[in-house]
């Protein structure tokens, strides 16, 4: 077990702790550091898999909680797995469902055995445990399963953070024991904003033979000034021979900071969710595409952020689409933002081995 | 004037009155008979212009009423016209706005001078006359402008149909007098379901030098048994040297019937609107893609209606997208239905000159 996922180090940054590498998965090799668009329900909102392929994404994230309720993991397994079901033949990582169960569910009860929760769809009662989460992800047949952890809300007391961390540690080996042959599982470090807890957690999780290691609990409403020290402190504590994943992060500058701390993998709803709220990323900052100043603009928002799928469309037309409630508006903004993130990751990878990290930081300083 | 649009007859059907030809427009040549997807607000809902090009569409329909209110024809004109504004460099036809003003507006008052109506967006008062409609369409810079006519509701009395027809006739020369140099305008025949009125109207409208001729008022809630005789009776009365356009029609079998009567051009919201209500066209009939029987289906709905843009997606996955409210669902169904209509028109054109009309009718008998 575990040899389905292999991290290969290609080079390190002369200026930072950033590292460039490759992640070998059952559905191909992914250049690291990389970003995963979020396809919660098995679809990245407004775009098709042909679009994601054209944009160059090699791996997406899907959601165990949502998919297990609808269409159901039994159905997906009968279909041959999530790749077969969705037609996406590149990498898929699923989160464990824990975050959704603990934060989104109408009501839930958590104890050492797992979490009992009500479906947001029909109020029916369900139970999620490390064993059950890994079983579901095994049915989905994804490339990378995430261990079930306890993710405390932010802000929370040191005692709450410690309690959630302890449970996460207790659950870690149960996740591993439940996996199928050839099912790769990543462990998750908790510990809130407390350096000593993060260190303790990194050591505890790293003591188990996970296929990769993630930092959890830093994206849940945590402001930048809390997030950066946690990432900078924790990333270097993770095993060097495995991929390191910062869950749910983030803004372009957050990603650049985390890569500089040694992170290899990212996912975030920002580029896709922001697009549906007509916000588009440019090197001059994130802009509101519905702003009246774009009403008659034919030139791009940012001459340095023009991507093939949108080259033909003017800011004036895209603003009109949003004003008129046309579904093409969110789609075009999503394609733009995903292209921006894809290029960001490409430029990050080049800057690491090209020795041009300071130029990269300068280029994205407003983004 | 008028030489911007030229109809070229290529051949006639040995079995019916169907004709195959070419429509030469300022934005290219369109093979006839053809179908125009409806882009009411300057966008065919859920799809981009790259999609429409890939599907092979050569002309779309946009809406004068909607575009004149938002973003406004002055803005579009300053932008260089609707082609420049939208990035669509193939043909555009606009309806006159009359139908929307007379049927959709919150309140309106019609007399011989024109129609006073309230905007559905903000309740502001506007005035539409033949002169104003043609002026707006001239500002939009489209390939084909439609004359403002009076389209009575269905059902209506013979007296109402006659009154609307008379006003349409009185307005006809005013539309032509208002056009810009090089602005092509099509006239519209009215007359309801009454053969004598349709004949009178066809003669009256054909007496004016329009660039093409349309049959109006047959799609507004009119059942098939009323529509077919009107089309069969009226189409042959239209000038043979100009394109003939049946407005707002229709189902595949309606289009086949109308082509057999001598019609060259169509537009209809059905393929796009039905797609958003998860109904997809197949040679076995229109089906509800959310039907439970597709929950685990990997094979296409119809083996004979598989199109490149959707080949990878299973009915099970598309059903899941609709169940989950994912925007990719309406998009994929729209791409499917538009591909179905594009193929229908292609097969219609082949059948006309290939002498295989009966085979075509047989092939689409359930569609």
Dump the DSSP string for B242-272: SEEEETT--SHHHHHHHHHTT--EEE-SHHH
Same domain as B143, residue B17: yes
- 8 Å CB contact of A42 and B317: yes
CA distance linking residue B321 with residue A71, whole number of Å: 9
Query: Is residue B52 situated within a structural domain?
Result: yes
Q: What is the pLDDT of residue B221?
A: 67
**For chain B, percent helix, then strand, then coil, each to nearest 5?**
40, 20, 40
Angstroms from B139 CA to nearest CA on chain A: 15
Residues 39-98 of B with CB under 8 A from A: 41-43, 45-50, 66, 70-71, 75, 78-79, 84-87
- 8 Å CB contact of B71 and A320: yes
Is the reported ipTM for this assembly greater than 0.95? yes
Query: Is residue B1 situated within a structural domain?
Result: no
Domain's final residue, options B241, B267, B293: B267
Same domain as A256, residue A293: no
Q: What is the pLDDT of residue A153?
A: 82
Chain position carrying tokens 């379901």: B193
CA distance linking residue B24 with residue B90, whole number of Å: 11
Q: Which residues contact A199 (CB under 8 A, 6 or more apart)?
A: A191, A233, A234, A237
CA distance linking residue A96 with residue A99, whole number of Å: 8
Q: What is the pLDDT of residue A304?
A: 96
- What number of other Cβ atoms are within 10 A of residue B291's Cβ? 13
- Chain segment A46-76, per-residue pLDDT in tens: 999 999 999 999 999 999 999 999 999 999 9
- Chain B hits for A41, CB-CB cut-off 8 Å, are 320, 324, 326
Same domain as A118, residue A208: yes
Pick B79's closest partner by Cβ from A298, A323, A328: A298
Query: Is residue A363 situated within a structural domain?
Result: no
- 8 Å CB contact of B48 and A328: yes
- Chain segment A204-218, per-residue pLDDT in tens: 999 999 999 999 998
Pick B85's closest partner by Cβ from A87, A317, A327: A317
Same domain as B285, residue B211: no
Name the helix (H) or strand (E) containing B137. Answer: helix B130-140
Pick A75's closest partner by Cβ from B42, B45, B295: B295
CA distance linking residue B99 with residue B217, whole number of Å: 9
Domain's final residue, options A235, A250, A268: A268
- 8 Å CB contact of B78 and A296: yes
- Chain segment A270-322, per-residue pLDDT in tens: 999 999 999 999 999 999 999 999 999 999 999 999 999 999 999 999 999 99
User: Between chain A and chain B, how many beta carbons pairs sit less than 8 Å apart?
Assistant: 104
Same domain as B361, residue B255: no
Same domain as B244, residue B298: no
- Chain A hits for B50, CB-CB cut-off 8 Å, are 309, 312
Supply the CATH number for residue A179's domain: 3.20.20.105
- 8 Å CB contact of B328 and A43: yes
- 8 Å CB contact of B70 and A320: yes
Same domain as B205, residue B173: yes
Query: Is residue A366 situated within a structural domain?
Result: no
Nearest to B166 by CA among B235, B111, B243: B111
Same domain as B285, residue B255: no
Query: Is residue B293 situated within a structural domain?
Result: yes
Chain position carrying tokens 């003017």: A314
Q: What is the pLDDT of residue B226?
A: 86
- 8 Å CB contact of B326 and A47: no
Nearest to B70 by CA among A88, A295, A27: A295
Q: What are phi and psi of B34, to 5 degrees?
A: -135, 165
Residues of A designated as active site: 95, 267
Pick A295's closest partner by Cβ from B48, B75, B313: B75
Angstroms from A87 CA to nearest CA on chain B: 6
Same domain as B353, residue B286: yes
Mutate to test the interface with B, among A71, A90, A299 (most CBs of B within 10 A): A71
- 8 Å CB contact of B327 and A332: no
Same domain as A297, residue A207: no
CA distance linking residue A261 with residue A228, whole number of Å: 9
CA distance linking residue B315 with residue B322, whole number of Å: 11
User: What are all long-range contacts of B196-201, with beta carbons under 8 Å and residues at least 24 apart?
Assistant: B197/B158, B197/B161, B197/B162, B197/B165, B198/B230, B198/B233, B198/B234, B198/B237, B199/B233, B199/B234, B199/B237, B200/B165, B201/B165, B201/B168, B201/B169
CA distance linking residue B46 with residue B269, whole number of Å: 13
Mutate to test the interface with A, among B88, B298, B311, B317 (most CBs of A within 10 A): B317
Chain position carrying tokens 């300022």: B26
- Helices (H) then strands (E): counts for chain A: 14, 16
Pick A87's closest partner by Cβ from B71, B317, B331: B317
CA distance linking residue A97 with residue A103, whole number of Å: 10
Angstroms from A252 CA to nearest CA on chain B: 26
- 8 Å CB contact of B79 and A41: no
Residues of B designated as active site: 95, 267
- Chain segment B291-304, per-residue pLDDT in tens: 999 999 999 999 99
For A321, nearest residue in chain B (alpha carbons): B43
- Chain segment B194-215, per-residue pLDDT in tens: 999 999 999 999 999 999 999 9
- 8 Å CB contact of B324 and A85: no
Please give the tally of structural domains in chain B.
Answer: 2
For B121, nearest residue in chain A (alpha carbons): A324
CA distance linking residue B234 with residue A121, whole number of Å: 54
Chain position carrying tokens 């059903």: B319
* Cα atoms found within 13 Å of the Cα of residue A298, Cβ hemisphere only: 12
- Chain A hits for B298, CB-CB cut-off 8 Å, are 79, 84
Q: What is the pLDDT of residue A220?
A: 62
Burial class (CB in 10 A: 0-12, 13-18, 19+), A165: buried
- What number of other Cβ atoms are within 10 A of residue A240's Cβ? 10
- Residues across chain A: 367
Q: Which residues of chain B have pLDDT under 50?
A: 1-2
Query: Is residue A117 situated within a structural domain?
Result: yes
Q: What are phi and psi of B199, to 5 degrees?
A: -65, -45
In degrees, to the nearest 5, what angle opens at C-alpha B5 toward C-alphas B3 and B7? Answer: 110
Pick A87's closest partner by Cβ from B71, B85, B313: B313
Burial class (CB in 10 A: 0-12, 13-18, 19+), A159: exposed
Q: How big is chain B by its Cα radius of gyration, in Å?
A: 20
Over 60: is that where the pLDDT of A1 sits? no
- Chain A hits for B317, CB-CB cut-off 8 Å, are 42, 85-87
Nearest to B286 by CA among B295, B277, B298: B277
- What number of other Cβ atoms are within 10 A of residue A136's Cβ? 23
- Host domain of residue B19: 6-267
Q: How big is chain A by its Cα radius of gyration, in Å?
A: 20
Nearest to A274 by CA among A320, A336, A344, A342: A336
Same domain as A163, residue A274: no
Query: Is residue B123 situated within a structural domain?
Result: yes
Angstroms from B66 CA to nearest CA on chain A: 9
Strand pairing category for B212-215 and B185-189? parallel
Same domain as B259, residue B320: no
Sign of the Cα torsion A30, A35, A41, A42 reads negative
- Chain B hits for A327, CB-CB cut-off 8 Å, are 45-46, 327, 330-331
CA distance linking residue A288 with residue A280, whole number of Å: 7
Domain's final residue, options A216, A249, A268: A268
Over 50: is that where the pLDDT of A31 sits? yes
- Chain B hits for A84, CB-CB cut-off 8 Å, are 298
Nearest to B255 by CA among B86, B47, B32, B46: B32
CA distance linking residue B133 with residue B98, whole number of Å: 8
Query: Is residue A330 situated within a structural domain?
Result: yes
- 8 Å CB contact of A323 and B71: yes
């Amino acid at each position: 077990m575990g040899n389905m996922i292999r991290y290969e180090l290609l080079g390190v940054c002369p200026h930072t702790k950033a590292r460039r590498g490759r992640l070998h998965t059952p559905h191909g090799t992914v250049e690291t550091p990389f970003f995963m668009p979020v396809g919660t329900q098995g679809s990245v909102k407004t775009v098709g898999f042909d679009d994601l392929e054209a944009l160059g994404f090699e791996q997406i994230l899907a959601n165990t909680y949502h998919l297990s309720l609808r269409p159901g993991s039994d159905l997906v397994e009968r279909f041959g797995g999530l790749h077969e079901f969705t037609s996406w033949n590149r990498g898929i990582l699923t989160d464990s469902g824990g975050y959704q169960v603990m934060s989104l569910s109408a009501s839930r009860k958590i104890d050492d055995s797992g979490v009992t929760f009500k479906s947001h769809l029909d109020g029916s009662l369900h139970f999620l445990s490390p064993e059950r989460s890994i079983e579901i992800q095994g049915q989905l047949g994804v490339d990378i399963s995430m261990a079930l952890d306890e993710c405390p809300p932010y802000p929370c007391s040191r005692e709450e953070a410690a309690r959630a961390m302890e449970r996460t540690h207790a659950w870690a080996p149960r996740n591993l024991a439940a996996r199928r042959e050839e099912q790769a599982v990543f462990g998750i470090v908790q510990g809130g904003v407390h350096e000593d807890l993060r260190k303790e957690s990194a050591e505890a999780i790293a003591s188990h033979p996970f296929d990769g290691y993630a930092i959890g609990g830093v994206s849940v409403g945590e402001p930048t000034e809390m997030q950066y020290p946690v990432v900078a402190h924790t990333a270097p504590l993770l095993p060097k021979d495995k991929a390191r994943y910062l869950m749910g992060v983030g803004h372009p500058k957050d990603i650049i900071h985390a890569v500089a701390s040694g992170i290899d993998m990212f996912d975030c709803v920002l580029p896709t969710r922001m697009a549906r709220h007509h916000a588009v990323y440019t090197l001059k900052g994130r802009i509101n595409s519905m702003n009246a100043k774009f009403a008659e603009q034919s030139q791009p928002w940012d001459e340095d952020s023009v991507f093939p799928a949108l080259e033909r469309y003017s800011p004036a037309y895209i603003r009109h689409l949003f004003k008129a409630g046309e579904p093409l508006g969110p789609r075009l903004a999503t394609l733009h933002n995903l292209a921006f993130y894809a290029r960001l990751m490409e430029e990050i990878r080049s800057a690491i081995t090209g020795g041009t990290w300071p130029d990269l930081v300068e280029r994205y300083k407003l983004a």
